[in-house]
């Protein structure tokens, strides 16, 4: 081989790259530095502030920041301040993964609170699993996940449906029409719903999915009219919820005889469609803004004082708020030198606290949360009236629709 | 059985009327000036926001506000034509990039000033009921949209084929240099056409706003629909636009009835791709001497 300057340079670069890849510890600064240093605990806050889901995620960011501020105002955790590192992943799953990597690797956050959509959670999951860090996910979702690196504080299908579906069958009847947006969440929810309906001897007259962002519901509405179902079970999300409700109402259909029962319509969606279009329909969730409890009054008042009197709280912003408090309780149990993601995960198992929705508990097996299912009926003023609530908290079971699988402390168990 | 068919035809008609409403402005601009206006959806969005602002801040109802919405959005279109589009008439491909950029800017301006929350426009109380037609309940507002789109088509057709301006416009469309040498001020005719097309898009936005949600991103769905209609109908044919909205609306209605909306959308796109493979000029294009 002839040795000239070009091949020398190439060789040097290649050797350098090999060294960097082979001995990463010499390149990563402060690899041995403790997570909680200088009286500060860094946490990531990863909600989109721009892009398609920016509006709803902004409210999650606000609830999270407010909870952190409250903790710091009360003297922090064992005297240490919680420092939020806020990133904007712009509603894009790839950006979520990139920002998550930054929060975990260069900011060395001990936990990250984030995500609204399942797509963004799935995108960051490998980052947290590979580095054995901890992600806190506040949104209700379709279940079927059993990660040791995610704390789930939103409802899974059994928590939204176990009380809701039998009650609807009893009150309205056995002919059901299922309508959802065309992606994983509605399909999994409907999967579980069909299972419940079968046990109850009820019948699904139609199951249909519309494209995400769909806004022309004339065909769907005309099918409602000809099928005359007793209940329309809706898992339509985003702008489509607004279009569906407004066109349902314009067509002169009546919620008294053919109510829509939704798992996704919160105060936030109702504000966007107008109370008149939402009035009379039902939603199942662990939290509604009108829920009467001292903790909730405090939460709603604090939220409005901090962010504006016209702001609404809803079932995802509530879990954003209480999951930060759970984090604080878990960290408070640890000595400063022990604060790391794995110890926090072990410490949060079985933690209980009074959330705005009632007393909640983190399940040590599944890392999901015990919640209080409620059924709300929407009124013309844009708020819900809680017409039914569970007498006890309900254990999370992310694999309830799949009998041969269970989520355990050791991971997913298949029989 | 007959009832189901009638009900499906009516469903198809109400889809078609919204398609026509949204596509009409685009058909005018694309068909006559050749500008590929990717910001069309944003003009629809501006119309919806104008209706919302008028209702929310000035208490002007949807009916009373329609003329104002047309003028406001038309004026916006005029400004954009004067500042950007007029320099691009001889470079039709560049209009794609330019109007796309304009669209993004309009979206962000609305997001920054009005905010990104979903908004809604109240339906006029007199139209929020439903009536029975041939034994089928149908929303009064949908009928209203059908009537308005038919009327707007009538007005546009009259302007194009029965007025002096329309004649000049058609002359320019056939040969711009020749028309100019006969003393037609092609600059001002094009400006007026662009503004008119934008005004129509604005009206479309205001009219669909009570049925759908109003958000800064709403335009992107409409621009796809509008291009679909115009491409199928043939770019230089106003009647083709009507026919193709009718075909697409009915097709969508029936396919969605037989399967579901997701399938209907996919099959429609497939059909259009196959069609433009074999008939790139669209279904109803006329022969024009170039």
Structure tokens at B101: 């950029």
Task: Classify residue B181 as exposed, middle or buried by CB count within 10 Å of its CB (0-12, 13-18, 19+).
Answer: exposed
Model pLDDT, residue A30: 47
Do strands A352-355 and A358-362 pair parallel, antiparallel, or not at all (unpaired)?
antiparallel
CA distance to partner chain A, nearest, from residue B102 (Å): 18
CA distance B185 to A328: 73
Query: How far is Cα A221 from Cα A260, in angstroms, rounded to an integer?
Result: 12
* A148 vs A345: CA distance, rounded Å: 8
Helix residue ranges per DSSP H, A333-398: 341-348
Q: Cα separation of A371 and A394, whole Å?
A: 5
Instruction: Tell which of A222, A238, A240 to mutate to test the B interface (max B CBs under 10 Å).
Output: A222
Q: In angstroms, how far is CA A139 from the centroid of its own chain?
A: 1
More confident residue, A322 or B118: A322
Which DSSP string do the residues of A97-144 spell out, in sequence order? HHHHHIIIIIS--SEEEE-SSHHHHHHHHHHHHHTT--EEE-S-----
Interface test with B, best of A206, A218, A257 (most B CBs within 10 A): A218
Measure CA of the first residue to CA of the last residue in chain B; give whole Å: 50
Residue B289, pLDDT score: 46
DSSP assigned state of B32: I
pLDDT of residue A103: 96
B chain contacts of residue A239, beta-carbon cutoff 8 Å:
118, 212-213, 215, 218
**CB B253 to CB A219 under 8 A?**
yes
Bridge partners (DSSP) of residue A386 are: A376
CB contact under 8 A, A246 and B14: no
Q: Which of A49-58, A285-294, B147-156, B271-280 has the lowest mean pLDDT?
A: A49-58
Taking CB atoms and an 8 Å limit, are B261 and A249 in contact across chains? no
- Structure tokens belonging to residue A325: 């408090």
Residue of A222, A249, A250 with shortest CB distance to B11:
A222
Complex prediction ipTM: 0.88
Answer whether A242 sits within 8 Å of B120, measured CB to CB. yes
Determine the residue of chain A that is closest to B119 in CA distance.
Answer: A272
Closest residue in B to A249 (Cα–Cα): B128
Rounded to whole angstroms, what are the CA distances from A40 to A83, A135, A142?
Answer: 6, 19, 35
Q: Quick check: B288 pLDDT over 60?
A: no
Contacting residues of B for A218, CB less than 8 Å apart: 11, 14-15, 142, 253
Interface list for chain B against chain A, based on CB atoms closer than 8 Å = 4, 7-8, 11, 14-15, 18, 116-120, 122-123, 128-130, 137-139, 141-142, 210-213, 215, 217-218, 221, 252-253, 256-257, 260-262, 264-265
CB atoms near residue B98 (< 10 Å): 20
Segment B205-229, tens digit of pLDDT:
999 999 988 999 899 889 999 999 9
Compute mean pLDDT per 10 residues along chain A, 415 residues long, and list them.
60 54 48 72 94 85 97 95 95 94 95 94 95 96 94 96 96 96 93 96 95 90 92 92 92 93 92 91 96 96 94 94 97 93 96 96 96 96 94 95 90 86
Count the neighbouring beta carbons within 10 Å of the beta carbon of residue A30: 9
- The average confidence (pLDDT) of chain B is 90
**Residues whose CB is less than 8 angstroms from the CB of residue A381 and which lie 6 or more positions away in sequence, other chains included:** A275
Q: What is the pLDDT of residue B181?
A: 92
* B4–A226 CB contact, under 8 Å: yes
Residue of A nearest to B225 (CA): A216
Residue A52, pLDDT score: 75
What is the pLDDT at residue B133? 75
B271/B265 Cα distance (integer angstroms): 10
Q: What is the pLDDT of residue A3?
A: 58
| CA B46/CA A267 separation, integer angstroms | 26
Secondary structure class of A209 (helix, strand, coil): strand
Which CA distances in Å does B188 have to A246, B174, B194? 41, 17, 10
In a mutational test of the A interface, the residue from B260, B264, B267 whose CB has the highest number of chain A CBs within 10 Å is B260
Question: Do A375 and A170 touch, CB atoms closer than 8 A?
Answer: no
Contact check, Cβ <8 Å, B262/A273:
no
Q: For residue A372, give every residue at least 6 positions away whose Cβ sits within 8 Å of its Cβ, in sequence order, or none.
A: A286, A357, A358, A360, A389, A390, A393, A394
Residue contact A272–B122, C-beta within 8 A: no
* A294 in Cβ contact with A270 (< 8 Å): no
Determine how many CB atoms are found less than 10 A away from the CB of residue A197: 23
B contacts of A210 (beta carbons < 8 Å): 260-262
Whether A216 and B15 lie within 8 Å, measured CB to CB: yes
Q: Which domains does chain B have, with CATH numbers?
A: 2-278 (1.10.3470)
Alpha-carbon distance B192 to nearest alpha carbon in chain A (angstroms): 32
Give the span between the Cα atoms of A322 and A362, in whole angstroms: 11
Q: Which residue of B139, B215, B264 is in closest CB contact with A250?
A: B139
Q: Which of B15, B261, B264 to mutate to test the interface with A (most CBs of A within 10 A)?
A: B261
User: Which of A226, A242, A247 is closest, CB to CB, to B118?
Assistant: A242
Is B245 exposed, middle or buried, given 0-12, 13-18 or 19+ CB atoms closer than 10 A?
buried
Report the C-alpha gap between A71 and A40 in whole angstroms. Answer: 13
**pLDDT for B204 beyond 80:** yes
DSSP string of B187-255? HHHHHHHHHHHHHHHHHHHHHHTTTS-B-TTTHHHHHHHHHHHHHHH-TT-HHHHHHHHHHHHHHHHHH
Distance from CA of B266 to the nearest CA of A (A): 10
Chain A: give the shortest CA distance to residue B178, in Å: 45
Task: Identify all chain A residues contacting B218, using CB atoms and an 8 Å cutoff.
Answer: 215, 239
Q: How far is CA A38 from CA A42, A69, A82, A250, B17, in A?
A: 11, 18, 11, 60, 66
Alpha-carbon A249 to chain mean position: 29
- Strand-pair partners of A407: A412
Identify which of A297, A161, A239, A303 has the alpha carbon closest to the alpha carbon of residue B119.
A239
Q: Residue A28: its pLDDT value, please?
A: 46
């Amino acid at each position: 081989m002839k040795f000239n300057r070009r091949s020398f340079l190439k060789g040097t670069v290649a050797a350098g790259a090999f060294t960097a890849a082979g001995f990463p510890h010499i390149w990563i600064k402060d690899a041995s530095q403790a997570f909680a240093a200088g009286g500060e605990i860094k946490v990531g806050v990863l909600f989109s502030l721009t892009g398609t889901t920016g509006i709803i995620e902004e409210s999650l960011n606000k609830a999270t920041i407010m909870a952190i501020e409250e903790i710091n105002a009360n003297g922090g955790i064992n005297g240490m301040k919680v420092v939020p590192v806020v990133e904007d992943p712009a509603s894009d799953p790839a950006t979520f993964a990139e920002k998550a990597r930054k929060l975990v690797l260069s900011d060395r956050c001990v936990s990250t609170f984030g995500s609204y959509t399942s797509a963004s959670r799935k995108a960051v999951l490998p980052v947290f699993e590979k580095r054995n860090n901890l992600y806190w996910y506040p949104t209700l979702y379709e279940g079927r996940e059993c990660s040791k690196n995610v704390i789930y504080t939103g409802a899974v299908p059994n928590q939204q449906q176990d009380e809701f579906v039998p009650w609807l069958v009893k009150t309205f009847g056995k002919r059901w029409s299922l309508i959802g947006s065309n992606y994983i969440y509605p399909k999994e929810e409907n999967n579980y719903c069909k299972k419940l309906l079968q046990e109850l001897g009820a019948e699904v007259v139609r199951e249909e999915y519309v494209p995400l962002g769909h806004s022309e519901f004339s065909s769907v509405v005309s099918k409602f009219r000809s099928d005359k179902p007793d209940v329309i079970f809706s898992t339509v999300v985003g702008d489509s919820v607004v279009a569906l409700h407004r066109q349902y109402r314009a067509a002169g259909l009546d919620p008294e005889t053919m109510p829509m029962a939704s798992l996704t319509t919160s105060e936030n969606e109702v504000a966007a469609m107008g109370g008149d279009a939402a009035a009379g329909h039902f939603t199942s969730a662990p939290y509604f803004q009108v829920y009467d409890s001292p903790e909730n009054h405090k939460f709603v008042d604090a939220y409005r004082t901090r962010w504006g009197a016209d702001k609404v709280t809803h079932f995802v912003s509530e879990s954003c708020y209480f999951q930060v408090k759970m984090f604080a309780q878990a960290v408070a149990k640890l000595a400063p030198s022990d604060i790391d993601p794995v110890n926090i995960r072990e410490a949060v198992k079985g933690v209980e606290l009074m959330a705005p929705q009632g007393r909640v508990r983190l399940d040590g097996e599944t890392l999901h949360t015990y919640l209080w299912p409620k059924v709300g009926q929407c009124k013309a003023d844009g708020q819900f009236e809680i017409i039914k609530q569970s007498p006890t908290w309900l254990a999370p079971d992310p694999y309830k629709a799949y009998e041969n699988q269970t989520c355990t402390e050791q991971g997913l168990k298949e029989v | 059985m007959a009832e189901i068919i009638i009900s499906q035809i009516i469903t198809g008609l109400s889809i078609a009327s919204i398609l026509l409403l949204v596509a009409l402005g685009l058909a005018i601009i694309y068909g006559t000036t050749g500008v590929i206006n990717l910001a069309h959806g944003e003009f629809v969005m501006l119309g919806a926001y104008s209706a919302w602002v008028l209702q929310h801040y000035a208490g002007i109802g949807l009916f009373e506000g329609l003329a104002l919405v047309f003028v406001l959005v038309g004026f916006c279109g005029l400004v954009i034509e004067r500042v950007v589009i007029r320099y691009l008439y001889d470079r039709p491909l560049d209009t794609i990039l330019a109007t796309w950029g304009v669209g993004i800017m309009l979206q962000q301006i609305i997001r920054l000033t009005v905010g990104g929350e979903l908004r809604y426009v109240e339906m006029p109380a007199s139209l929020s009921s439903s009536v029975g037609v041939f034994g089928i309940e149908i929303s009064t507002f949908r009928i209203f949209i059908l009537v308005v789109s038919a009327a707007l088509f009538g007005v546009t057709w009259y302007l194009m084929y029965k007025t002096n301006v329309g004649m000049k416009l058609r002359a320019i469309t056939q040969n711009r240099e020749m028309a100019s040498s006969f003393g037609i001020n092609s600059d001002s005719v094009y400006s007026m056409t662009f503004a008119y097309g934008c005004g129509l898009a604005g009206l479309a936005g205001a009219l669909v706003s009570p049925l759908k949600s109003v958000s800064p991103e709403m335009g992107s769905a409409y621009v796809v629909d509008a291009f679909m209609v115009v491409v199928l109908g043939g770019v230089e044919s106003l009647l083709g636009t009507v026919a193709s909205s009718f075909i697409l609306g009915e097709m969508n209605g029936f396919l969605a009835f037989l399967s579901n909306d997701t399938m209907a959308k996919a099959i429609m796109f497939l059909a259009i791709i196959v069609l433009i493979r074999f008939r790139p000029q669209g279904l109803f294009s006329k022969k024009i001497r170039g």
